[in-house]
Amino acid sequence: LHLSVGGTISTGGVGQRSFRCGLQIDNVLELELIQENGNRLICSNSKNKALFDRARGGYGQFGMISKVKMRLEAAPKQVLVYKAIYDNANDFIQDQILLSAEYSVSAVQAHIVLNRREEIERRIGQTLSNENYSLLNDQSLWVFVLEISIYIYNPETLLSTKECQQEIFNRVLHC
């Protein structure tokens, strides 16, 4: 990626969990800025607040972010990832909205991909069977991919992969 935490905070820090946790800049507690004259300033909600607010998402216009204190969340013990492919934009968007309201879904990432088999396979990271590929509308220029993640923090509560997948696909998805 060639980006630092300071670099992503300079641009806002949008990610696949933003709908749950806010932007990366929403979770910054304090930062250190190096200004063009070499001065280092500590900024937070209580110290240099105006500069703190401008520097987060400010594309480096107010100095280089060299240190950051952030609110963190616990790392999951396991992550279950599912990929759903759509050839209909309306269903794709509707499922994005439904998934963002579904509490058991931890992260959602959406992709629009040229409707060519090799492009789809590259995006989903696996080979499509002929049967699955034939289900897609070959008249559509684009296909839409949702990557759905479920974070498991307590292994004792882990549903089997099949049960978890079935639950999501039965309750939410139109693909």
pLDDT digits (tens, 9 = 90+) for 3-34: 678 888 888 888 888 888 889 999 999 999 99
CB 56 within 8 A of CB 14: no
The shares of helix, strand and coil residues in the chain, as percent rounded to the nearest 5, are 35, 25, 40
**44 vs 80, higher pLDDT:** 44
Radius of gyration of the chain (CA): 20
Which single residue is written with the structure tokens 């060639």?
2
Q: How far is CA 130 from CA 11, 99, 113, 127, 142, in A?
A: 41, 28, 18, 9, 18
Q: What is the pLDDT of residue 137?
A: 77
Token representation of residue 1: 């990626």
Average pLDDT over residues 64-76: 92
Q: What is the pLDDT of residue 43?
A: 96
pLDDT digits (tens, 9 = 90+) for 138-166: 788 899 999 988 888 877 766 665 676 66
Q: What is the pLDDT of residue 1?
A: 54
Mean residue pLDDT of the chain comes to 85
CB 113 within 8 A of CB 95: no
pLDDT digits (tens, 9 = 90+) for 99-146: 888 777 889 989 999 998 888 888 888 888 888 788 787 788 899 999
> How far apart, in whole angstroms, are the C-alpha atoms of residue 138 and residue 146?
19
